[in-house]
Chains A and B, each alone.
Chain A
Amino acid sequence: MPMKETRTVSDQMKRQSKAVSRSDFFPRLVAMQRFAHARNFAVLKTNNSGLPSRRKLTCILDNFPTDGEIAASSILEAYGTFLLEHLEVSSLPLLWNGRDDAQTAETPDFAAFVIRLKNRVLPVCGIALPVRLGSMGNGYTVFAANYLDITSEIIIDLHARSHQMMMDLLVLDERRSAPDEVLSNREIACLQLAGDGLVSEEIAGQLGLSVHTVNAYLASATVKLDSVNRIQAIAKAIRLGYIA
């Protein structure tokens, strides 16, 4: 989405509240990291594209040191493509061993339910837990360490918590992208019918309004949804749950 030239006061406030809330996730992630006896964490998220060629993972939160041997981006470079493919077909946790012989990630009681990534690629071992909520809110929580010995109970618990966190992040994002003003019932009705394939004349006939009024409602809905035309407004209205 293109960045706006002029930022209003409310935009800045939203930006700020976003930053504050995102940082609220840090303590939760650190707690999870400790629980796994890991050294660092990273949260990876997919962009919202339905196009396979445009889909990619980005790191949205991590605590890898900036001057360290490894950054969150190293994980994406090493395993990014596989992580994306895996997310499409499976929810099994992924484990990998590090370059050093001692850098192993093990789960003796749960080996049947994990998939192993290519070993000896990174200077750390780790675990990646896939989270797939649906058409949005998909990604991974990753924990990296020098050595991991992780039981089934811990994996399952971390995985459940990862889902909860991705959901809370999604709520945060949606709240941010939700329109400033609430759509009126008339605007919603017009959007719904337009999305059902009716042209303005037909919508007017069905709602007992003039064509101009229908177009005015669609135009105001477009502005409220921060869209450039009615087609984008319809797409957003569906994603935000205003229309079915």
Chain B
Amino acid sequence: MSNRSVLSGGRVTSAKLDREFNDKPPVQTVGSGRRHITTEQLVERLKSSAEAGDVSGGLRTLSDYVGADGYLLARHELNSENGLDNVISSDWPFDLVRKRGTELITRLSRTTELEKCLSVLQPAFSMLPEDSALPAGASREYCTIIFSTGRNRYVLMFICPTDVILSQQRLRETGVLASYFASLLFHDTIKIGRDMDLTDRELECLYWIAEGKTSDEIATIIGISKNTINNYITSVMRKTATRTRSEAIAYAVRHNLV
């Protein structure tokens, strides 16, 4: 993959990619001591936050575990125009969330689907602009982790403290735990149905068209008339406000409908 610097504005892979997970770093190198918690405490606290429905409490626990100075959790949606709507919870100063958070989230949405798939649970480091208003003791460096819970994709950001390097291994673990936490808490907000009210037949036609089949061929495959197929396509184009078949397919691929 040529373009792995998905989340970058600045430098990306500051820490080494211990990809095989063999060299698990010693626990005590992380956490700067002041808010250090053990895995047991972490699991216990996360569990009670999940039971109480306390999103910020759970995220604070994760932030402490990883040794960060502040968190931001947002939904990572396709073509999100207003990033602020997607922010679920953050303990960053409001100005920072408003000015920078939206910008960062919008930047993330400008990557291809494959790049997004390959960035899941890969901690990426970048720098905030110089004029950002930061919490006390925080550096301009922040870390981004993307994780999925069912069909929903989330982005979790941590502000790094000035004097400590966050462990890649621990950041990944935090991403996994955050996805468990989100599975328990946002269970009801997960979209099971589709955004658009396309029918199963319409989706089936779209699927076959994307595979390069003509109306005639689809008619044979599904066993209905060619004119009916064409009617389905017309109705898809009307519902998705697209002008040509090509655009309708492009739309369907972009929105993971086929």
List chain A positions with a Cβ less than 8 A from chain B: 1, 28, 49-51, 53-54, 87-92, 109-110, 112-113, 132-137, 152-153, 156-157, 159-161, 163-164, 167, 170-171, 174, 194-199, 227-232, 234-235, 238-241, 243-244
Contacts and interface: CB of A to CB of B under 8 A. Distances in A.
A197 to B, nearest CB: 3
B75 to A, nearest CB: 14
How extensive is the interface on chain B, given as a class?
A: 35 or more
Nearest to B172: A160
Contact of B207 (A51, A156, A196): A51
A238 B257 CA distance: 13
A50 B118 contact: no
Contact of A235 (B43, B214, B250): B250
Interface stretch (B86-94, B135-143, B178-186): B178-186
A50 B258 contact: yes
Given A196-B247, A229-B214, 9 more contacts: A49-B207, A50-B203, A50-B258, A133-B117, A134-B113, A134-B120, A163-B120, A232-B211, A234-B249
A164 B21 contact: yes
B253 interface: yes
Given A89-B150, A89-B187, A113-B180, A235 B120 contact: no
Interface string B217-258: 000000000000000000000000011111101101110111
B39 interface: yes
B183 A157 contact: no
A47 to B, nearest CB: 11
Nearest to B147: A91
A215 to B, nearest CB: 13
Given A112-B50, A152-B39, A87 B150 contact: yes
Give the one of B50, B121, B175 with max A CB within 10 A. B121
Interface of B is mostly: helix
Contacts of B51: 112
A109 B244 contact: no
A195 B113 contact: no
Contacts of A91: 147-150, 176, 179-180, 182-183
A214 to B, nearest CB: 13
Interface string B193-213: 000000010011001011110
A186 B182 CA distance: 44
A91 B179 CA distance: 6
Interface string B88-122: 00000000000000000000000011111110110
A133 B118 contact: yes
A163 B178 CA distance: 14
The 6 closest A-B pairs by CB, nearest first: A197-B247, A232-B212, A241-B112, A195-B250, A89-B150, A228-B212
A171 B256 CA distance: 19
Contact of B43 (A110, A160, A167, A197): A110
Given A28-B20, A160-B172, A244-B112, A197 B212 contact: no
Contacts of A240: 114
B150 A88 contact: yes
Contacts of B151: 88-89, 132
A196 B176 CA distance: 37
B47 interface: yes
B36 interface: no
B16 interface: no
Nearest to B254: A238
A160 B24 CA distance: 13
Nearest to A137: B117
B256 A135 contact: yes
A238 B39 CA distance: 42
A89 B183 CA distance: 7
B253 A238 contact: yes
Interface in B47-68: 47, 50-51
A56 to B, nearest CB: 14
Contacts of A196: 247, 250
Contact of B187 (A50, A90, A137, A234): A90
A234 B246 contact: yes
